[in-house]
Structure 1
Amino acid sequence: MSTNNLSNNEAQKKYKKLAESIDFAMMVTHLDQTPLHAIPMSTKRVDDNGTTYFLSNADSEHNSNIESDSRCQLLYAEKHSMEFLSVYGKAKISRDTALIHDLYGSADDNWFEGKDDPNITVITFHPEEGQYWDSKSNALVSLFKMGYGAITGEKQDIGETGSLNQL
């Protein structure tokens, strides 16, 4: 696996590509204590600058954790495409009605009583730094390359990994 560390605009583009293609993230809060608090969240949107949006219940534990400590970690994993992403940043809670209406989709009815539910909030995540692993191929091709490399002793290009800096 080759290493390709990215900064600024290149890092933002890589983050956006991976976060949008994977969709679900484990949002980890309560970073200063153990056990950590982790919950699956659907990524609603990623702006070009990396700002990431999620919908959340106002009375949730992760909202409470973010209000007391904005530090947050997002962990994305997609087994079929062998793409992985870990990003650290800061989150904040908003009740911006226009933004809620913009982000809300029909699948969100599983968690809320419609887009005007008074319990909906937006978690806005601002990434600062991260790490990615991108296989460039699907899992089957990656496994074939790893097996071929093990048999022949020839190092195979199975993808890239790197740091995402100055997001």
Structure 2
Amino acid sequence: MSNKNDTKDKNGVKKLKALIDGPKVVMMATRLDKIPFSVCPMTLQQVDEQGDIWFFSSKDSSHFEDITFDNRVQIIYLDDDNQIYISIFGNATHVEDDKKTDELWSPMLNNWYNGKDDPNLVLLSLNVENAYYWDSEENKLVSFFKMIGGAISDGTSGFGNKGEINLQNY
């Protein structure tokens, strides 16, 4: 049986996992076919070994319905402390899996759900196709002075790294 992740580029998965540091609130855009598209904050729970991103959601949420209609999703990830910014695109799937729910569950989630057995609780798995990142490997103060220096000199700051992360291995 073929798995959707059998063709994932392992270097892309490794890079994505290195950039994303644990659970974090991100902005998830759905209904990318309409303007304005729908946006909501979501807590990213995990980037698994296959490069899929996991979230908890509610079956009665608007994004649950949006994903049923059109499963294309854009995630905007911001980590100001480490100056890492990522735009992630992929396809989301609703998943009901008690084992995965147990693995990812945290008591903090009781603020939004009535426990792990909440009948409206569902997992969202985002099969990442590609991402684009901006990453400053230095602290904010050094980065700030490099940006200022670049603006004063020739306009190049030597500030951080950026690039595409393609998780598809064609």
TM-score, scaled to structure 2: 0.86
Q: Equivalents in 2 of 1:22, 1:154: separation in Å?
A: 36
Q: Deviations over 1:85-118 (max 9, x none)?
A: 0011000001212211221101101101111111
User: What is aligned with 2:10?
Assistant: 9
Taking a change above 3 Å as real, the CA distance of residues 117 and 32 of structure 1, as seen in their structure-2 partners, is same
Unaligned runs of 5+ in 1: 1-6
User: What is aligned with 2:74?
Assistant: 73
User: What is aligned with 2:133?
Assistant: 132
Q: Equivalents in 1 of 2:109, 2:155: separation in Å?
A: 48
Q: How far 1:20 sits from its partner (Å)?
A: 2.8
Q: Give yes or no for contact 2:22–2:45 (8 Å, CA) kept in 1.
A: no
Q: Deviations over 1:121-156 (max 9, x none)?
A: 000000001210001122222102222333455844
Q: Equivalents in 2 of 1:21, 1:147: separation in Å?
A: 31
- Identity over aligned residues, as a percent? 35
Taking a change above 3 Å as real, the CA distance of residues 150 and 80 of structure 1, as seen in their structure-2 partners, is same
- The count of aligned residue pairs is 161
User: What is aligned with 1:40?
Assistant: 41
TM alignment of 1:49-64, pairs within 5 A: 49-64=50-65
2:89 maps to amino acid: Y
Q: Give yes or no for contact 1:20–1:43 (8 Å, CA) kept in 2.
A: no
Taking a change above 3 Å as real, the CA distance of residues 138 and 21 of structure 1, as seen in their structure-2 partners, is farther
Flag the structure with higher helix content. 1
Q: How far 1:68 sits from its partner (Å)?
A: 1.1
By relative contact order (CA 8 Å, sep 6+), the higher-ranking structure is: 1
Q: How far 1:10 sits from its partner (Å)?
A: 2.0
Q: Deviations over 1:13-47 (max 9, x none)?
A: 12112233572211110011112111111111111
Q: Give yes or no for contact 2:23–2:46 (8 Å, CA) kept in 1.
A: no
Unaligned runs of 5+ in 2: 1-7
1:101 maps to amino acid: D
